[in-house]
């Protein structure tokens, strides 16, 4: 099981988990089961009295995604609920934006995000345009029927409308970005995902000189898992350097995550991009405020915040926790190491395209290039080296607590004193000089994740190796 989604079991029923339900297309992700989830969403909306506002139903370019979206629309129509379908695939953040822009009861999104092509998924985005909180997903799950509902295929289609949100989303991004992007040469890599053709139109309209690779929808993503990791972006790096472009941007399968490449081909993840954009907002846009990050995200953003008299608020893994702070205007920016960012004047959902727009604005307004912005960050705050291991094995009991307590009780790790232990999500152990490691059990996979960060690459690797040894010793 992958990517923060609920699992499905024909025996135990569909579990509508932390970010929806996801499963394999060759197993139980079928039209019949999608109708069950759509029925549960309809019942939840009827119960909460929100149905008069209708629902946007977005879908990505995966196999059968459009068919699943249309099945959802028929189920909603059978319950008297209006739905709005786009003319083609849309990124997840556009579905989230549509819920807010058109004052709807929420959005349904058919996608499996960055997971392999044999998967698909469905999730509900509430009216505020951010991840559903547990009380919402729990409410939906309680309504999932034991069998697919009987839906008249000739259900009242007068309740199903077409809605293209592209123009409104573009105008919103114009308002988000201060000025245009003319003069920038960029290469975009949608990885054959939902931003194919979409992002290139946006940034061309904003004035950038855009070249795009892998910019056509492909349900199989060209044989690559649509996750913008360094090993998946060799083509983007080569094209950026060969074309003399200012930077390259890659998006995941549904467009809510991003990664970047500098003009010399250096890969930058959100651990670097989040503090770069945060620094830009405060120093060039005078948008001053706290930031939010998950427990697994680099502390580099903490250093930027402290330098400007602000805080970095730590939350559990899951963008929904950042989304709450964004909705409350408690922070001006928030992000997670897996690739997502968003901002207080935008939707409280991670958005790769909006993040890219602000990153490009930072590059243009600084005149330093993305590589220069990163080097400026390093010169001011030092370089932090982050890493992660996913340990797949069978285990019983609360292995994270056992390992974390055993490690923390020693008082030091590899010769460095333990100065703090927190259990906000898993067990995080902070060492003197700011190094840290985190043990966290995945909520959807039989995996223990070990994270580490320090100012020395060798020490970070040593922490990861130490953590691996400790975990395997308890399995």
pLDDT at 396: 64
Range with the lowest mean pLDDT among 13-27, 87-101, 236-250, 454-468?
13-27
- Secondary structure, 3-state, the chain: CCCCCECEECCCEECCEECEEEEECCCCCCHHHHHHHHHHHHHHHHHHCCHHHCEEEEECCCCCHHHHHHHHHHHHHHCCCCEEECCCCCCHHHHHHHHHHCCCCEEEEECCCCCCCCEEEEEEEECCCCCCCHHHHHHHHHCCCCCCCCCCCCCCHHHEEECCCHHHHHHHHHHHCCCCCCCCEEEEECCCCCCCCHHHHHHHHCCCEEEECCCCCCCCHHHCCCCCCHHHCHHHHHHHHHHCCCEEEEECCCCCCEEEEECCCCEECHHHHHHHHHHHHHHCCCCCCCEEEECCCCCHHHHHHHHCCCCEEEECCCHHHHHHHHHCCCCCEEEECCCEEEECCCCCCCCHHHHHHHHHHHHHHHCCHHHHHHHHHHHHHCCCEEEEEEEECCCCCCHHHHHHHHHHCCCEECCEEEEEEECCCCEEEEEHHHCEEEEEECCCCCEEEEEEEECCHHHHHHHHHHHHHHHHHHC
Q: Is the pTM of this model over 0.85?
A: yes
What is the pLDDT averaged over residues 407-419?
A: 89
pLDDT at 475: 65
What is the pLDDT averaged over residues 164-173?
A: 96
Block residue for tokens 């020395």: 456
pLDDT at 18: 59
pLDDT at 11: 31
Give yes or no for residue 153 having a pLDDT over 70.
no
Range with the lowest mean pLDDT among 34-43, 350-359, 387-396?
387-396
Range with the lowest mean pLDDT among 135-139, 273-277, 408-412?
408-412
Domain architecture of the chain: domains with CATH: 8-164 (3.40.120.10), 168-381 (3.40.120.10), 385-474 (3.30.310.50)
Q: How confident is the model at residue 408 (pLDDT cuts 50, 70, 90)?
A: confident
Q: Mean pLDDT for the chain?
A: 92
pLDDT at 2: 33
What is the pLDDT averaged over residues 34-50?
A: 93
Closest of 147, 125, 136, 152 to residue 47, by C-alpha = 136
Range with the lowest mean pLDDT among 237-241, 314-318, 429-433, 468-472?
468-472
Give the rounded percent of residues in the chain with a pLDDT score beyond 90.
Answer: 81
pLDDT at 443: 63
Q: Please, what sign has the CA dihedral across residues 19, 25, 26, 27?
A: positive
177-208 pLDDT, tens per residue?
877 899 999 999 999 999 999 999 999 999 99
pLDDT at 13: 66
What is the pLDDT averaged over residues 374-399?
A: 89
What is the pLDDT averaged over residues 416-432?
A: 92
Q: Extract the tokens encoding 69.
A: 């979206």
245-292 pLDDT, tens per residue?
999 999 999 999 999 999 999 999 999 999 999 999 999 999 999 999
299-338 pLDDT, tens per residue?
999 999 999 999 999 999 999 999 999 999 999 999 999 9
Give yes or no for residue 379 having a pLDDT over 80.
yes
């Amino acid at each position: 099981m992958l990517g923060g989604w609920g699992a499905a079991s024909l025996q135990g029923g569909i579990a509508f988990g932390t970010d929806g339900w996801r499963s394999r297309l060759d197993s139980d992700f079928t039209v019949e089961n999608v109708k069950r989830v759509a029925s549960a969403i309809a019942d939840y909306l009827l119960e909460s009295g929100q149905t008069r506002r209708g629902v946007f139903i977005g879908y990505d370019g995966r196999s059968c995604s459009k068919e699943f979206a249309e099945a959802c629309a028929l189920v909603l129509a059978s319950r008297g609920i209006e739905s709005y379908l786009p003319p083609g695939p849309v990124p997840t953040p556009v579905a989230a934006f549509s819920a807010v822009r058109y004052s709807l009861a929420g959005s349904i999104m058919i996608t499996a995000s960055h997971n392999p092509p044999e998967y698909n998924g469905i999730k509900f985005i509430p009216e505020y345009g951010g991840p559903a909180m547990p009380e919402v997903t729990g409410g939906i799950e309680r309504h999932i029927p034991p069998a697919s509902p009987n839906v008249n295929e000739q259900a009242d289609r007068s309740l199903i409308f077409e809605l293209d949100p592209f123009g409104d989303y573009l105008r919103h991004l114009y308002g988000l970005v201060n000025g245009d992007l003319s003069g920038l040469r960029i290469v975009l890599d949608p990885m054959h995902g939902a931003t194919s053709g979409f992002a290139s139109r946006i940034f061309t309209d904003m004035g950038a000189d855009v070249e795009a690779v892998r910019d056509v929808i492909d349900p199989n993503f060209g044989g690559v898992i649509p996750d913008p990791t360094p090993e998946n972006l060799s083509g983007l790096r080569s094209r950026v350097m060969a074309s003399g472009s200012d930077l390259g941007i890659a998006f995941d399968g549904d467009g809510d995550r991003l990664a970047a490449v500098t003009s010399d081909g250096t890969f930058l993840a959100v651990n670097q991009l989040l503090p770069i954009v945060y620094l830009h907002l405060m120093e060039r846009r005078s948008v001053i405020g706290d930031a939010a990050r998950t427990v697994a995200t680099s502390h580099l953003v903490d250093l930027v915040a402290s330098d400007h008299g602000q805080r970095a608020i730590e939350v559990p893994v899951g963008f929904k926790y950042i989304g709450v702070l964004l909705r409350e205007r408690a922070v001006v920016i928030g992000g997670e190491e897996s690739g997502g960012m968003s901002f207080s004047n935008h939707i409280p959902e991670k958005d790769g395209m909006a993040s890219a727009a602000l990153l490009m604005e930072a590059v243009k307004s600084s005149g330093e290039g993305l590589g220069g912005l990163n080097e400026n960050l390093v010169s001011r705050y030092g370089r932090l080296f982050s890493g992660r291991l996913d340990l797949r094995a069978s285990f019983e009991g609360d292995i994270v607590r056992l390992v974390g307590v055993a490690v923390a009780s020693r008082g030091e790790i590899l010769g460095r004193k333990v100065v703090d232990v927190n259990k906000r999500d898993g067990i995080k152990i902070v060492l003197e000089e700011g190094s840290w490691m985190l043990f966290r059990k995945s909520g959807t996979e039989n995996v223990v994740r070990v994270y580490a960060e320090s100012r020395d690459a060798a020490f970070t690797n040593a922490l990861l190796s130490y953590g691996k040894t400790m975990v395997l010793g308890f399995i």
